[in-house]
Amino acid sequence: MENYWSLNSSKCGQKEKSPSLNTSLMDMNSLPQAVFLCVLSYLDVKDLGRVSCVSKHWYNSALDPSLWRKLKLSKRQKVDDEVLVRVTNYGSSATGGVLDVSECANITEEGLIKALQQCRFLVELSVVRCPAVTDNCLTEIGQSCQNMKFVDISLCRVTDCGVKGLCQGCVKLEKLTMDQCHSLTCESLFAVAQNCPKIKSISVEYNSKCKDAGVCELVQRCPLLERLHLNSCTITSQAALHISQYCRNMSVLDLRYCSSLTDDMVLEVVFGCKYLDILNLSLCSHVTDVSLEHILSNCATLRGLYLVHCKITDDGLEAFSRHLSNLERLDISWCKEVTDEGVKTVLKGCPHLKHLGLVRCDQVNEQTVMQLSQQYPRVFLSTVMTEMNRMCEKAGFPDLLKQ
């Protein structure tokens, strides 16, 4: 291994080295330690283990805490308690630590807690679908990792009690993702609101027990909130009103599949959140053309708008001819009343558009899509056919569907 890296070695090749080549600059062992560590920093955990076998110098260098500051162990089935505790110990003194053990099936609750106790400078933790994560683990994070800023516990079997323990200790939290943690209720949002005033992003997608009371408490107590993901949560006009009143700096709002969302509620939201960058109202069956008018007249900086399976028609798309739009992505897939004329109106009214979703807009003619793609080459028109063509091109068979 050492000979592989050192071009000074006589075994690197059979040909004589060119005298003009300054080989001393390519000797890894002669590099300044700071530079050598910088090179090693590009290696993952597995490769660091390999290079540590090269020599004593490489072994000592590979154990530098800065190299073990970011541990990306997601989906590594060979990572068990012993391995986890050992590798977290290597970087235990490094500040700004990152640990990702998502979907690591062979870690136990005991092993994860031991590792967390060593990671007092951890700032980012991802444990998505990790069976070792329990309420006790979340409480340990709150006690041992009080510098934590980013946590993702999606798909973990935890309860409000664990989230409360986490938030009480990690008061510096800025981003918390709790998607598909089906046991969580409004109590978890209360815990965030009461203990984490610096929170900027929170996601509780597919948690149907998170309702108005929790959302209202959250947005009222967390003035720095910029990103809110409430996909499939059961909120009503009360939560929409609070979002409008207290989230003036909101940039990303995801209200997908909030079945009770109406045009009036959309008006409340966009009237208060004028600086939205991304708004997702997909699968909100009561959202109609009226909402589109509200959105375009209030959110001039909007770059991404998603209205999949909403009641949008050509009449609603006429709003693009009346309002200046900076949209880069618009998705109106499954809006089956949209026709060729509506698509043309959108393309004329959105000079910055890069992506237009039209999947299963069955009244949009495929021949028209091909013509518009040539007329507006900067825009990808996403239909079933164009998506299949793109997949074939990526696979190396660009002419497959033409046969």
* Cβ neighbours of residue 219 closer than 8 Å, sequence gap 6 or more: 225, 228, 239, 242, 243, 246, 247
Residue 138: inside a domain: no
Residue 217: inside a domain: no
Residue 374: inside a domain: yes
Beta strands in 8-111 (DSSP E): 70-72, 97-100
Range of the domain at 372: 235-402
Residue 100: inside a domain: no
The mean pLDDT of 171-189, rounded to a whole number, is 97
Per the prediction, the chain carries an average pLDDT of 91
Residue 156: inside a domain: no
- pLDDT score, position 9: 34
Residue 148: inside a domain: no
% of the chain with per-residue pLDDT over 90: 76
The per-residue pLDDT for range 91-125, each reduced to its tens digit, is 887 788 999 999 999 999 999 999 999 999 999 99
Local structure of 290: helix, strand or coil: helix
- pLDDT score, position 12: 36
Residue 122: inside a domain: no
Give the C-alpha separation, 220 to 15, whole Å.
72
Query: Could you give the number of structural domains in the chain?
Result: 1
Inter-CA distances, 208 with 85, 227, 277, Å: 36, 19, 25
Q: Which of 47-51, 155-159, 272-276, 319-323 has the lowest mean pLDDT?
A: 47-51
Give the C-alpha separation, 29 to 62, whole Å.
13
| Cβ 339 vs Cβ 312: under 8 Å | no
Residue 265: inside a domain: yes
- pLDDT score, position 94: 78
The per-residue pLDDT for range 350-397, each reduced to its tens digit, is 999 999 999 999 999 999 999 999 999 999 999 999 999 899 888 888
And the tokens for 371?
């013509």
The per-residue pLDDT for range 116-175, each reduced to its tens digit, is 999 999 999 999 999 999 999 999 999 999 999 999 999 999 999 999 999 999 999 999
Q: How many CB atoms lie within 10 A of CB 86?
A: 12
Q: What is the CATH number of the domain that holds 369?
A: 3.80.10.10
- pLDDT score, position 396: 84
Local structure of 328: helix, strand or coil: coil
363 or 324, greater pLDDT: 363
Which of 119, 101, 99 shows the shortest CA–CA distance to 109? 101
